[in-house]
Structure 1
Amino acid sequence: MATTAAEPPLRPRLRVGALAVPRPGAETLFGAALALVLTAVGLRAGGGASLGPTTEVEMGLQLAGGLLVGGALLSTDRRRPLHGAVVLAAFAVLAALTAVSILWAVEPSDAWLETNQTLAYLAVVGGGAALAREAGAWWPALLGALLGFCGLISLYAVGSKVFPQETETFARLREPFGYWNAVGLVAAFGVPLSLWLGARRHGHAAVNALAHPLLGLFLVTMLLAYSRGALLAAAVGSLVWFALVPLRLRGAAVLASGTLGGGIVSAWIFAQDALTTDRVPLDTRQTAGLELGLAVLAMLAVLMGAGLGLGFLLARRAPRPDTRRTAGVGVLLVVAMVPVVFLGSLAVSDRGLGGSISEGWKSLTDPDATTPANDPSRLTAVGSVRARYWDQAVKVFQEDKLTGAGAGGYPTARRRFREDELVVRHAHGHAVQVPADLGILGILSYLALVLATLFAIARATSLRRRDWRRQPFTPERIGLLTAASVVVTFAVHALIDWTWSIPGCAVPALLCVGWITGRGRGEEPPTRPHAVRRRLAAGVRRPQASVAAAAVLALALLCAFATWQPLRSVQAGDDALDALDAAQTPQAGVERARELAQTARDHNPLSVQPLFELGVIETVGGRKDQAQRALEDAVELQPDNPETWLRLAQFTLRQQGDPRRTIDLLGPALYLDPRSDQAAALYLDATRQVNGGAGALPGQGLGTAPTP
């Protein structure tokens, strides 16, 4: 029978035996490719702590974002408004402030790295806006890609416990990011996405049924990571989804089945010491891992069957309106009873309601509170080491309220206020790290970005009061609200942890920000990516579009080149030390090592590491005056960094034999880092030499060391 004009054309099919399989279309391929790209970003960047992989990911994001934005400028009709421009401008202001903070940063080289990361994230938002502008109708592929990414990462994380490695001795899930809360956050992203998949009224029934096992997998992942922050973020993101999306009963069914299945498996896991105890022998973990794998597979199979069965029942007989109302009231009663039961349990406890709340608040905010154990009991604990880091961040902010310590300056500036010997790279919360790093200027910049993003989300999803009831809840509107729930999930977690600095967590959320803001007004029909080649060719013939696209591409290349320089510097510095070690005689490799160290300094003139390496090289070459000059240059470059003073003091005592000057140099080092074991030991050694081995100088001690 011939198709009518109103019927969509039949999609070509592939024959697999007797089964006809639809040929995947461009939208499906786009979603699959995007899922793989997001997964590759997460796996390659890891926890964002390794400079090499992180630099590669950031350069790739900058170039990809530049290509997408440049292509959008070429192919877009000039009469169309530039949706998302305000958000991109606010993000660009943040990136500019981060870059300018290099001028006053306590460690300018770290501010450069923060700038590179911010520029990469700006490219992600711009790329997301460009995709929404040119292929807005492919929003289901975006959500599918995000869900596929969350599923792959969660399977990887749980798989690391099913097939344990000898080097992994912790019971908490932390792979592939090396940080358990990052793993939990990616699983938390999957919760509102699963609710959307299982509740939507379109799509293949078998695909929609996947929401049930996926949600169970995400819950198991969050619980095995012992991530309280991820559970909180998932709860807030889910509440936002239920509050905004009218498919509450369908979503509640997915949430109930996934929570039940994941909860049962997690309860069984928590009863197994081999799966919840650190440093268990490998053979014991392997046996327990196989049992875990079987339990997870059984859960996935049962939940898949439940999803298919529920979909079949709803397809045959939809609930009547009165049944829906009754079920809705039941769901609301269950939700309302949760805080009642929680408060009741606190009221009947030994401390009572008031005492329990007071004790919980003290544990949460006390910098000296006991750190919870790395076992399932952590999920019910309130205390955290974060209060200590937050307190130090507030002290750093108070030192310079307007500009802060400079982007990335918290790890160095906190040493002056720390009460332990821990090396911490982040304040474990963006809400306190931004004031510490960028001061009031950073706070205002982030507030502008947040407000611009909220306005853009409200416009794209018709959340404004006058549009809320007037606009129908189309599938796309529900999809955009789901993407907004993912953004909220990330924002909640980033406020209390350092997942902003982990690309695998930040990139998916920022991609959603870009897509939503680039969508424009919700009542406008989404664009379809048809005739892209023709539009690109037409854009090339428009001088203004060509110049704008060329400028964006040139800027992306410039940013990628700048991002590459710190890595080149580190590689050249490593080569310099290798050349020094590989030489048959010390003098033979000094000249080559000196050249490489100078190259490292040229690549990154803001870093003191090439100067430290040059000091070693010149010392080996017998040019102690030049070595001293290099270390003095390091102090001049970063005078607020205790490491520069310590290196110069070590050289002064070990190579020049001048204990009195060493004591003078250790004054700033101990002022900037009073808890430094190396500085304290060197100070005692110098005072013994001054006194002929009798100990500290009369009237002097560690507490009275000179200050800068």
Structure 2
Amino acid sequence: MRWPVLWGAAAGGLAFAALFFSDGSSQSRIFWIGAPAVLLAAIGWAWRPPRLPPWGSAFFVCLAAFVVWQGVSTAWSIQPSRSWDYTNRGLVYFAFAAVGALLGGVPMRRYAAAGCALLGVLFVWALVAKVIPGLYPDYGRLARLRYPVGYWNELALLASASVPLGLWAVGPRHDRRARVAGTLLLYAALVVTVLTYSRVGIVLTVVAALMWLWLDRDQLAALGPLALAWIAGAAVAGVGLLLPGVSSDGQSHHVRVRDGLVFGAVVVVGAVVVALASRFALSRAVDRRVARVAAVALVVLVVAALAAAVVRAGGPSDFVSARWHELSNKVSAQVPNTPGRVLSGSSSNRWRWWKESWNAFTDKPLQGTGAGTFELVDRVERNSPLATIEPHSVPLQFLSETGIVGFLLYAAVVVSAAIAVLRRERARAWLALALGAALCFVHSWVDIDWDFISVQGTLFLTLGALVCGPGTPVPGRRRWLVSAAIGVCALAGLYSVTSPWLSVNRINAANDAIVRDDPGQALADARSARAFNPLSVDALFIEAILEPSDAKALELYRRARDLEPTNPETWYQLGAFELRYLKRPRDAYRDLNESYTLDSYGPASLKGGPLDQARCKIDPATCP
């Protein structure tokens, strides 16, 4: 088997695993998907390292430096265990990029074709889960399309990134079967995008098509298939929105089965119509005059709609003021997860989270709060029960969590990648892949993309292939010192992604032992969990619960508090232990009150809970 074919298959397997088995932002999948990526990258680079152009080398150096800085931030992090987990994400994305660089000998057209196939299968599987409710029962709770990626906005981003690939596939240089498949990809992508109700996803889907039509020389040949696919896709998505079992939350299994079958039939009929009609649409290019008239009509329609909105608002100033107020909303509720949300201009609390992130940066501008710690920052800063894990802006997140140093390293990664990609030979496949990568970067400004290996893994795999460029690997002589260094780094990386996973595994084992009424085994598992991850407060908590000695348990709770002194949970657990087991209400009140001070919507805020109980014991007059 030839070397490019071998690594192409390996890279395809990694991409497939990331897209279909990442389980949203699950940290455990970082181990299961990331460890093979690290191994593949190490083997490939040690055996036949790729030949990198200068800007490609700069990309990998900057990315490595950024990941190392994330790891270093664990030293001052307000949540060290979370920073370790987040460093592992960056490490895995680096491994994906390194595997991508091994594909330098694979033509870009084959890479693009593989991308079309993977995304096409992903969209079909996503829609099948609407047809067969048993595949993803959680749609009974919340209907927004998200399976198997786990998050609607990320699925919509993948759909928008597939638009340039679909338009590449319908180009006149391909055979008819490939062009029909490209048209079907465009059709499926639009249906998926609409059913996610993702506002940014819909906008980026349209922008992706417009950018392709502006940059591609064969844009007239793509107009017909695009129009056909999107008209049919809009009709099918419209039917889906009208079916409660497809588009509404809280529907019974019976309703979802009934409406799912109807929707599935409509999707299949739409696909058949697109496939048959594409034979005509692909046989001739759209007349340039017709395209110009359509473009002018579209612009006039958009301008008219904007003018009507301005007039309805009472004038330009009132319109701008209303839109600004809507964007920077200060309400505590999210925009409802209904189809009507696509017409809302609300930031859905993003503005609040962006301000919290900015304030965290201004407090610690040089080093930040530590990688992956915004969840704790939000809990301390929030003024409503609503909580989040990230500020919904990757660059702003890195600015607040890793400081100006980390942000500049991230900016260097983006700039070096952009320059390296732009210096590649500019074929149509290159344009499709480059536009997809650009869409991912734009989307990262307004969402939590870094948490999803389904998007970031495939993105860095693509960037690795793009920045490497064509050419043969470095030949001949074995550079044993370099290979040994790669091996050492790989072992360190494997330890880094494995140890926290083993810690969580032992915590789960300890909980299982508690259920089996086996306290001895539970304590042994808890101690193993802390040995694998000494930064984990969860491991400290479960060991303290199982520790027969109150003095040792108190020491463990205090150690957790000292490890994360700004975490309201560590203060709460310490105070609750002091109240219930040590019978020290004054100490308990002090620590529980500190937890409440840090987060007035946290566990200490429970009416009649440990804080109120401690207060009552100290001052009986406060008892209800």
3-state secondary structure, aligned to 1:48: coil
Residue among 682, 696, 700 paired with 2:610: 682
Shift of 1:569: 1.0
Residue among 143, 146, 149 paired with 1:171: 143
CA contact 1:234–1:489 (8 Å) conserved in 2: no
Q: Verify: 1:151 aligned to 2:120, yes or no.
A: yes
- Could you tell me which amino acid in structure 1 is paired with residue 40 of structure 2? A
Alignment of 1:354-433 (within 5 A): 354-368=317-331, 371-383=334-346, 384-433=348-397
- Give the distance between the partners of 1:551 and 1:88, measured in 2 at CA: 16
Cα deviation code 1:256-306 (max 9, x no counterpart): 122111111122222333332211222222111111111111111111122
Residue among 449, 460, 464 paired with 1:499: 449
Determine the structure 2 residue equivalent to 1:239.
Answer: 210
Determine the structure 2 residue equivalent to 1:455.
Answer: 419
- Could you tell me which amino acid in structure 1 is paired with residue 364 of structure 2? D
CA contact 2:197–2:339 (8 Å) conserved in 1: yes
Residue among 480, 486, 489 paired with 1:552: 486
Distance change (3 Å), C-alpha of 1:230 and 1:67 = farther
- Give the distance between the partners of 1:167 and 1:190, measured in 2 at CA: 26
- Could you tell me which amino acid in structure 2 is paired with residue 672 of structure 1? L
3-state secondary structure, aligned to 1:496: coil
- Give the distance between the partners of 1:231 and 1:570, measured in 2 at CA: 38
Larger mean Cα displacement after TM superposition, 218-227 or 328-337: 328-337
CA contact 2:369–2:402 (8 Å) conserved in 1: yes
- Give the distance between the partners of 2:622 and 2:23, measured in 1 at CA: 51
Shift of 1:81: 5.0
Q: Verify: 1:434 aligned to 2:398, yes or no.
A: yes
What CA RMSD, in Å, does the superposition of the two structures yield over aligned residues? 2.5
Determine the structure 1 residue equivalent to 2:522.
Answer: 593
Shift of 1:575: 2.4
CA contact 2:25–2:150 (8 Å) conserved in 1: no
CA contact 1:206–1:308 (8 Å) conserved in 2: no
Shift of 1:581: 4.3
Determine the structure 2 residue equivalent to 1:260.
Answer: 231
3-state secondary structure, aligned to 1:371: coil
- Give the distance between the partners of 2:257 and 2:175, measured in 1 at CA: 38
- Give the distance between the partners of 1:99 and 1:543, measured in 2 at CA: 31
Determine the structure 2 residue equivalent to 1:182.
Answer: 154
Shift of 1:444: 1.2
Distance change (3 Å), C-alpha of 1:296 and 1:497 = same
Distance change (3 Å), C-alpha of 1:29 and 1:124 = closer
3-state secondary structure, aligned to 1:629: helix
Cα deviation code 1:499-526 (max 9, x no counterpart): 221111112222221111111xxxxxx4
Shift of 1:228: 1.0
Residue among 243, 249, 265 paired with 1:294: 265
Determine the structure 2 residue equivalent to 1:140.
Answer: 109
TM-score (norm: length of structure 2): 0.93
Shift of 1:167: 4.4
Distance change (3 Å), C-alpha of 1:564 and 1:43 = same
3-state secondary structure, aligned to 1:405: coil
Distance change (3 Å), C-alpha of 1:189 and 1:114 = same
Cα deviation code 1:579-625 (max 9, x no counterpart): 344346xxxx33x433332221111111111211111111xx2x101
Determine the structure 2 residue equivalent to 1:39.
Answer: 16
Shift of 1:685: 1.4
CA contact 2:572–2:603 (8 Å) conserved in 1: no
- Give the distance between the partners of 2:270 and 2:622, measured in 1 at CA: 70
Shift of 1:387: 2.3
Alignment of 1:211-360 (within 5 A): 211-313=182-284, 323-324=287-288, 326-327=289-290, 329-330=292-293, 332-334=295-297, 336-360=299-323
CA contact 1:429–1:495 (8 Å) conserved in 2: yes
- Give the distance between the partners of 1:370 and 1:647, measured in 2 at CA: 29
CA contact 2:63–2:94 (8 Å) conserved in 1: yes
3-state secondary structure, aligned to 1:675: coil
- Could you tell me which amino acid in structure 2 is paired with residue 561 of structure 1? Y
Shift of 1:679: 4.8
Determine the structure 1 residue equivalent to 2:568.
Answer: 642
Shift of 1:332: 4.2
Where structure 1 has 5 or more consecutive residues not aligned to the other structure, the ranges are 1-23, 462-475, 520-525, 529-534, 697-708
Q: Verify: 1:671 aligned to 2:597, yes or no.
A: yes
Distance change (3 Å), C-alpha of 1:543 and 1:69 = closer
Larger mean Cα displacement after TM superposition, 88-97 or 549-558: 549-558
3-state secondary structure, aligned to 2:445: helix
- Could you tell me which amino acid in structure 2 is paired with residue 571 of structure 1? N
Residue among 43, 54, 64 paired with 1:92: 64
CA contact 1:164–1:282 (8 Å) conserved in 2: yes
- Could you tell me which amino acid in structure 2 is paired with residue 92 of structure 1? A
- Give the distance between the partners of 1:309 and 1:508, measured in 2 at CA: 34
Determine the structure 2 residue equivalent to 1:514.
Answer: 464
Shift of 1:352: 4.1
Distance change (3 Å), C-alpha of 1:82 and 1:395 = closer
Shift of 1:678: 2.7
TM-score (norm: length of structure 1): 0.82
- Give the distance between the partners of 2:297 and 2:100, measured in 1 at CA: 38
- Give the distance between the partners of 2:175 and 2:406, measured in 1 at CA: 46
Larger mean Cα displacement after TM superposition, 281-290 or 353-362: 353-362
- Give the distance between the partners of 1:647 and 1:428, measured in 2 at CA: 29
CA contact 2:593–2:604 (8 Å) conserved in 1: no
Shift of 1:489: 1.2
- Give the distance between the partners of 1:268 and 1:638, measured in 2 at CA: 51
CA contact 2:139–2:249 (8 Å) conserved in 1: no
| Identity %, equivalent residues | 26
Please identify the structure whose Cα radius of gyration is greater.
1
3-state secondary structure, aligned to 1:89: helix
Distance change (3 Å), C-alpha of 1:114 and 1:300 = same
Shift of 1:197: 0.8
CA contact 1:238–1:485 (8 Å) conserved in 2: no
CA contact 1:101–1:111 (8 Å) conserved in 2: yes
Distance change (3 Å), C-alpha of 1:284 and 1:247 = same
Distance change (3 Å), C-alpha of 1:43 and 1:543 = closer
- Could you tell me which amino acid in structure 2 is paired with residue 395 of structure 1? N
CA contact 2:30–2:497 (8 Å) conserved in 1: no
3-state secondary structure, aligned to 2:312: coil
Determine the structure 1 residue equivalent to 2:579.
Answer: 653
- Give the distance between the partners of 1:188 and 1:595, measured in 2 at CA: 49
- Give the distance between the partners of 1:160 and 1:253, measured in 2 at CA: 30
Where structure 2 has 5 or more consecutive residues not aligned to the other structure, the ranges are none
- Could you tell me which amino acid in structure 1 is paired with residue 594 of structure 2? P
Determine the structure 1 residue equivalent to 2:28.
Answer: 52
Larger mean Cα displacement after TM superposition, 350-359 or 174-183: 350-359
Shift of 1:126: 1.9
- Give the distance between the partners of 1:99 and 1:419, measured in 2 at CA: 31
- Give the distance between the partners of 1:28 and 1:231, measured in 2 at CA: 36
Cα deviation code 1:300-332 (max 9, x no counterpart): 111112222233346xxxx8xxx54x3453354
